[in-house]
Amino acid sequence: MSMASLLGLSTPVDIDISFANEEQRKHVEVKVDKDRRERVPVYLDGETVNGKVNIRLKGGKKLEHNGIKVEFIGSIELFYDRGRSHEFLALSQELAAPGEMRQNASFDFEFKRVEKQYECYHGINVKLRYFVRVTIARRLSDIFNEKDIWVYSYRMPTDINNSIKMEVGIEDCLHIEFEYNKSKYHLKDVIVGKIYFLLVRIKIKTMELAIIRRETTGALPNLYNESETVTKFEIMDGAPVRGETIPIRLFLGGFELAPTFRDVNKKYSTRYYLNLVLIDEENRRYFKQQEITMFRRKIDDGYPADTDGEVPAVEN
């Protein structure tokens, strides 16, 4: 969006940005604000970002300018930091030298095999985005337009995927063991587990299992933690007895999940936790929390599992 239009002023030109083979490319729906979502094309690390810029003069008037450039930018916006943008990637190409436009013009742009080391993320207090920006420099105020892409990153966990075994206990009152089949899950995975009741001397009313996403932004001493419940469901209603076993099977494919992010550009992290909560008849809550790792698989997003770098466009 141009700065002049933000101020309520009309601009003398329209700037339109389009990507090569955009309609044939895989798209995702991105939440732009509370009530609005947009379809954005998906790119991978190492893919070329290219396309066309069309600049249309309004009212047949000529336009004097101090140069036209196109940029490919990766930025992290921290909302508590007054929305200030931290650019970790900035590539620039000149489209036109300073001069005068007397008619509509089109320009091709190409950023070859661009490293996109981070995945896009729109969180509670942080936004990581990649976008193409076209700027027409002018003496009084620049005119610019931006268009976003969405980047997926495939960073497979390297360490062993062990099962999780934990205990919840209150001396002489309650002893529960629960286990999950693994500690690392892809975004379309199924969480499988069991809960064993070894000692039950309090009256349990219900039991819930929740997936919690915790977003950490900033750095000490200005560290911000925000947690949100991705999903929560009741896995038991009524009092269990000693020796009882309750199976757990939770399909992740229906939830809006992102991978686990650890210290992205020293700006933010996101972690996931399985939260088991027991509620007794006096509404006292007992809980146990365990961190799990989420990761993205190429095959789930429609790409061949062994693809790297340049990726053929895949229809949505």
Higher pLDDT, 261 or 1: 261
Which residue has better confidence, 90 or 179?
90
What's the CA gap between 62 and 84, in Å, rounded? Answer: 35
Q: What's the pLDDT score for residue 172?
A: 74
Is the Cβ–Cβ distance between 132 and 71 less than 8 Å? Answer: yes
Residue 5 pLDDT > 80: no
Is the predicted pLDDT of residue 75 greater than 50, yes or no? yes
Statement: residue 314 has pLDDT above 50:
no
Closest among 211, 186, 155, 151 to 30, alpha carbons compared: 151
From 1-5, 18-22, 145-149, 286-290, the region with the lowest mean pLDDT: 1-5
Tokens of 285: 């809550």
Choose the weakest-confidence range: 125-134, 200-209, 283-292.
Answer: 200-209
Specify burial of residue 12 (Cβ count, 10 A radius: 0-12, 13-18, 19+): middle
Enumerate domains of the chain plus CATH numbers. Answer: 13-152 (2.60.40.640), 164-301 (2.60.40.640)
Span 124-161, pLDDT tens digits: 999 999 999 999 999 889 999 999 999 999 988 877 78
| pTM metric for this prediction | 0.85
| d(C-alpha 255, C-alpha 265), whole Å | 26
**Mean pLDDT of all residues in the chain?**
87
- Contact by Cβ (8 Å): 181, 250: no
DSSP state of 3: H
Q: List the single range of 2-6, 75-79, 126-130 with lowest mean pLDDT.
A: 2-6
Mind listing the pLDDT tens digit for each residue in 226-245? 999 999 988 877 777 788 88
Q: Identify the bridge partners of residue 42 per DSSP, sorted by sequence position.
A: 150
